[in-house]
Amino acid sequence: MPFLEEHQSPLINDSNGNTLVQIRNLKKWFPVRRSLFSKIKPDERFVHAVDGVSLGIRKEEAISIVGESGCGKTTLARLMLRLLEPTEGTILFESRDLFATTKAEMHKLRVQIQAVFQDPYSSLDPKKTVLQIVSEPLEVNHLTKRGRETLERVSYSLSAVGLDPPPRFLAKFPYELSGGQRQRVAIARAMVVNPRLIIADEPVSMLDASIRAEILNVMLNLRDKFNLTYVFITHDLAVARYVSDRMAVMYLGRVVEVGPADEICLNPTHPYTKALLSALPTTDPRKRHEGVELKGEVPSAVRIPAGCRFRPRCLYAFDKCNAEPELIKVGKDHYAACWLGEAS
Amino acid sequence: MLQVENLRTYYRTPQGSLKAVDGVSFTLEKGEILGLVGESACGKTTVALSTVRLLPPAAQVMGGKILLHGEDLLTKTENEMKHVRWKKVSIIFQGALNSLNPVLPVKEQIAEAILAHDNLTGEEVDTAIGRLFKAVRLDPDRRKNYPHEFSGGMKQRVMIAMALACDPEVVIADEPTTALDVIVQRQILDLIRNLRDERHISMILITHDLSVVAQLCDKVGIMYAGKIVEFGDIFSIFETPRHPYTQALLKSIPKMEQTKTQLSYIPGSVPDLTGEVPACRFYGRCPYAQQLCSETEPKIEETGPQSYVACHFWRNIKAH
Amino acid sequence: MSSEPVLEREESYSRTRVYIRALVAFWRVYRRNKTGIIGLCMLIFFVAVAILAPYIAPYDPNKAFLSAFLQPPSSNHLFGTNEAGQDLFSQVVYGTRASLTVGFAAAFIAATIGTLIGITAGYFGKLIRDLLMRLTDFFIVIPALVLMIVLASVLGSGLTSVVLAIGLVGWTGTARVVMSQTLSLKEQAFVEASKASGAGDFYILRSHVLPNVMPVAFAQTVLVVANSILYEATLTFLGLGNPNQVTWGQILQFAFVSGAITTAWWYVLPPGLSIMLVVLAFSLTGYSLDLVFNPRVRKV
Residue B250, min C-alpha distance to chain C (Å)? 23
Query: What is the pLDDT at residue C255?
Result: 85
Q: Does A125 touch chain C (CB under 8 A)?
A: yes
Q: Does B79 touch chain C (CB under 8 A)?
A: no
Query: Which chain C residues are within 8 Å of B94, Cβ to Cβ?
Result: 300
For the stretch A88-124, pLDDT in tens is 999 988 888 888 888 778 878 888 999 999 888 889 9
User: B34, B154, B183, B266: best mutation site toward chain A, by most A Cβ within 10 Å?
Assistant: B183
- Given an 8 Å threshold on Cβ–Cβ distance, is C300 in contact with B94? yes
Are B221 and B34 in contact by the 8 Å Cβ rule? The answer is yes
Nearest by CB: A241 against B183, B256, B266? B256
For residue C37, the surrounding DSSP H or E stretch is helix C34-51
Residue A211, min C-alpha distance to chain B (Å)? 6
Residue A138, min C-alpha distance to chain B (Å)? 30
Count CB atoms within 10 A of the CB of residue C28: 10
For residue C163, what are the CA distances in angstroms to C98, C117, C186? 11, 19, 33
Size of interface A-C (CB pairs under 8 A): 90
Tell me, what DSSP letter sits at residue A40?
P
* Calpha distance A72→A79 (Å, rounded): 10
Q: Does A252 touch chain B (CB under 8 A)?
A: no
Query: What is the pLDDT at residue C2?
Result: 38
Closest-approach residue (CA) in chain B for C28: B14
For residue A251, the surrounding DSSP H or E stretch is strand A246-251
Angle subtended at Cα C165 by Cα C290 and Cα C258, rounded to the nearest 5 degrees = 105
Residue B100, min C-alpha distance to chain C (Å)? 19
- Given an 8 Å threshold on Cβ–Cβ distance, is A81 in contact with C196? yes
* Calpha distance B280→C204 (Å, rounded): 47
Of chain A, the percentage scoring pLDDT greater than 90 comes to: 26
Are B155 and B97 in contact by the 8 Å Cβ rule? The answer is yes
For the stretch B69-117, pLDDT in tens is 888 888 888 888 888 888 888 888 887 778 888 888 888 888 888 888 8
Closest-approach residue (CA) in chain C for B45: C300
User: B149, B150, B181: best mutation site toward chain A, by most A Cβ within 10 Å?
Assistant: B181
Q: What is the DSSP string of C163-221?
A: HHHHHHHTTHHHHHHHHHHHHHHHTSHHHHHHHHHT--HHHHIIIIIHHHHHHHHHHHH
Size of interface A-B (CB pairs under 8 A): 125
Q: Does B14 touch chain C (CB under 8 A)?
A: yes
Look at B257-271, C44-58, C242-256 and tell me which has the smallest mean pLDDT: B257-271
* Calpha distance B21→A239 (Å, rounded): 32
Chain C neighbours, 3+ Cβ pairs < 8 A: A, B
Task: List residues of chain B with CB under 8 Å from any CB of chain A.
Answer: 39-40, 151-154, 181-187, 189-190, 208-212, 214-217, 234-235, 238, 248-249, 252-257, 259-260, 262-267, 269
**Stretch C155-181: mean pLDDT:** 88
Q: Check residues A32 and A247 and name the one with the higher pLDDT.
A: A247
Query: What is the pLDDT at residue B51?
Result: 87
For the stretch B176-216, pLDDT in tens is 887 788 888 888 888 888 888 888 889 999 988 888 888 88
Query: What is the pLDDT at residue C136?
Result: 92
Query: What is the pLDDT at residue A1?
Result: 32
**Stretch C268-272: mean pLDDT:** 87
> Exposure of C154 by Cβ count < 10 A (0-12 exposed, 13-18 middle, 19+ buried)?
exposed
Q: Is the pLDDT of residue C300 over 50?
A: no
* Calpha distance B196→B188 (Å, rounded): 12
For residue B54, what are the CA distances in angstroms to A282, B49, B216, C24? 33, 5, 26, 35
For the stretch B9-51, pLDDT in tens is 888 887 778 888 888 888 888 889 999 998 877 888 888 888 8
Q: How confident is the model at residue B313 (pLDDT cuts 50, 70, 90)?
A: confident
Quick one: three-class SS letters along A53-69?
EEEEEECCCEEEEECCC
Closest-approach residue (CA) in chain B for A70: B181
**Stretch A129-154: mean pLDDT:** 87
| CA neighbours closer than 13 Å in the CB half-sphere of residue A214 | 24
How would you list the strands of the sheet with B307-310, edge to edge? B89-92, B170-174, B202-207, B33-37, B219-224, B227-233, B307-310, B300-304
Mean pLDDT of chain A: 84
**Stretch A59-76: mean pLDDT:** 89
Angle subtended at Cα C197 by Cα C194 and Cα C199, rounded to the nearest 5 degrees = 60
**Residue A309: which residues within 8 A CB-CB, separation 6 or more?**
A251, A252, A253, A254, A324
* Calpha distance B124→B273 (Å, rounded): 48
Q: How confident is the model at residue A66 (pLDDT cuts 50, 70, 90)?
A: very high
Q: If we measure between CA atoms, which residue out of A125, A140, A170 comes closest to residue C10?
A: A170
Q: Is the pLDDT of residue A3 over 60?
A: no
Query: Which chain B residues are within 8 Å of A286, Cβ to Cβ?
Result: 235
Q: Is the pLDDT of residue C11 over 60?
A: no
* Calpha distance A276→A235 (Å, rounded): 9
Closest-approach residue (CA) in chain B for C29: B14
Mean pLDDT of chain C: 84
Q: Is the pLDDT of residue C226 over 90?
A: no
Are B191 and B199 in contact by the 8 Å Cβ rule? The answer is no
Of chain B, the percentage scoring pLDDT greater than 70 comes to: 96
- Listed by number, the residues of chain A in 201-220 with a beta carbon closer than 8 Å to a beta carbon of chain B are 208-214, 216-217
3-state secondary structure of C33: coil
Closest-approach residue (CA) in chain B for C300: B40
Count CB atoms within 10 A of the CB of residue C293: 18
- Given an 8 Å threshold on Cβ–Cβ distance, is C197 in contact with A110? yes
- Given an 8 Å threshold on Cβ–Cβ distance, is C32 in contact with B14? yes
- Given an 8 Å threshold on Cβ–Cβ distance, is C300 in contact with B14? no
**Residue C96: which residues within 8 A CB-CB, separation 6 or more?**
C46, C49, C50, C53, C248, C274
Query: What is the pLDDT at residue C297?
Result: 36
Query: What is the pLDDT at residue A40?
Result: 61
